[in-house]
Structures are given as C-alpha cells and as structure tokens.
C-alpha cells in the first residue's frame, strides 16, 4: 500500500474520538466513541455517524444515537 485517500469533508463537518479508560494498571479502554457531524450554517446537525469500539468484536455503528443528534442545534448550551 502506497497511500490512502480520503474524501474531503463537507463544510461545517468534523470528527472526534474519545476513549474511556478506568484508572487501573492496565491501559485497556472500556469503550471508545467516534463521531462525525455535519452542521448547517445555523449550527443544526444535518448528518451524524456515531461508532463505539471495545464493546463488541468489531466497531458498532449506533444509528439511534446519530438520529438523536440530527435536527438538533449543537452549541455550548446543548
């Protein structure tokens, strides 16, 4: 493999990933959560994808969580 090409993100789009790790001697995540969001010019979520890792043999897409975000205003007050 020489390279991986990813499509450009849409305007007002972004990604985030967070791991929850308990404070023990082992650095094993209890869960990892990834999200991809697209907002319109008013800060309303128009598209979302939510994935969870370390909770099943492979990452899980959580359509219910994504649907709950769509149509919502995502700002500091939310």
DSSP state of 41: T
Sign of the CA dihedral running 67, 60, 51, 23: positive
14 pLDDT more than 80: yes
CA distance 42 to 51: 25
- Show me where the domains of the chain are located: 17-69
Phi/psi region, residue 12 (left: phi>0; alpha: psi -120 to 50; beta: rest), is left
pTM: 0.81
78 pLDDT more than 70: no
Long-range contacts from 23-30, C-beta under 8 angstroms, 24+ separation: 28/54, 29/53, 29/54, 30/54
Reported as a single tens digit per residue, the pLDDT across 26-61 is 767 689 999 999 999 999 999 999 999 989 999 999
pLDDT cut 90: percent of the chain above it: 74
């Amino acid at each position: 493999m020489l390279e991986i090409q990813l499509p450009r993100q849409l305007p007002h789009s972004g990604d985030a990933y967070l791991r929850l790790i308990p404070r023990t001697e082992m650095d094993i995540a209890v869960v990892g959560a990834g999200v991809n969001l697209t907002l319109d010019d008013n800060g309303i979520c128009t598209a979302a994808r939510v994935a969870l890792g370390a909770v099943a043999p492979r990452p899980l897409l959580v359509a219910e969580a994504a649907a709950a975000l769509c149509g919502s205003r995502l700002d500091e007050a939310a």
